Structure 1
């Protein structure tokens, strides 16, 4: 079980690293001058590759977490309300990941109307989600 926990933590940390950096690329895309075709193409390529890699990392992170939850019963039974809250946070992270994909498509086709300031705020969301997930898993407040 400890190997599974360790791998789960490694994949989750890697997944979040991608979710931290991807929106930063979005900010840079929003700041590209209108005539900078090469810079825009390079940033879009970076964002697409990072989204693909981050998606690949999310699969084992979620699978190992499910294995720990269902296979070993971690967080099941009375007094484990923290696990329900953590699963809600995980669903929010999955939704954020999906929103990154949608936003990337809109930035690529030029239909996004998001300002660099909004994108900077969007960039902070995964920090809050990671903080919530770690606090719930470690402190187990309820």
Structure 2
């Protein structure tokens, strides 16, 4: 079980790294005015989303479900239900990042860099909630 937990944590960290970095790329992409820079950001965003974020997110979820399978008594714990709700929110945030990536790819971005600066802060709130729930298990 400890190996499963270790790999779950590794993939959660990798997933969050991407969730923190992709919206930061959106900030800079929204500010970019030259075509060469625009194309460079499109490549960076696509590789981050498809090559790191999505595989890491999928593997974090797989290893998390494996942990639940190994410890089914957690299913009665309120903290796990709250954590799973936050994970669902995070999955939707990930999906929305992919949708924003497409708008940049198609040169249809309609948000300013200020929007993306605020958007970039959202996963921090989720991370705080998840860590507190797992470490403290308040209910």
Q: TM-score range by the shorter chain?
A: over 0.9
TM-score, L = length of structure 1: 0.94
CA displacement at 1:58 relative to structure 2: 1.0
Q: Deviations over 1:84-136 (max 9, x none)?
A: 00000000110000000000101121222111111100000111111111111
Return 5+ residue gaps in structure 2 as ranges.
Answer: none
| Aligned-residue RMSD, C-alpha | 1.0
TM-score under structure 2 length normalisation: 0.96
Going from structure 1 to structure 2, the CA distance change for 1:74 and 1:37 (only over 3 Å counts) comes to farther
Runs of 4+ in structure 1 off by over 4 angstroms are none
Query: How many residues are aligned here?
Result: 138
Q: Which one is further off, 58-67 or 104-113?
A: 104-113
Counterpart in the other structure of 1:85: 82
Could you tell me how far apart the structure 2 residues matched to 1:17 and 1:104 are? 17
Per-residue deviation at 1:72? 2.2
Q: Which runs of 5+ in 1 are unaligned?
A: none
CA contact (8 A) 1:68 1:74 kept: no
User: Equivalents in 2 of 1:122, 1:104: separation in Å?
Assistant: 13
**What is the DSSP-based 3-state SS (H/G/I as helix, E as strand, rest coil) of the residue aligned with 2:130?**
helix
Measured at CA, do residues 2 and 74 of structure 1 come closer, stay the same or move farther in structure 2, by a change above 3 Å?
farther
Q: Give yes or no for the alignment of 1:9 onto 2:6.
A: no
Match of 2:92 among 92, 95, 119: 95
Task: Quote the offset at 1:74 in angstroms.
Answer: 5.2
Partner residue of 2:110 out of 113, 119, 134: 113
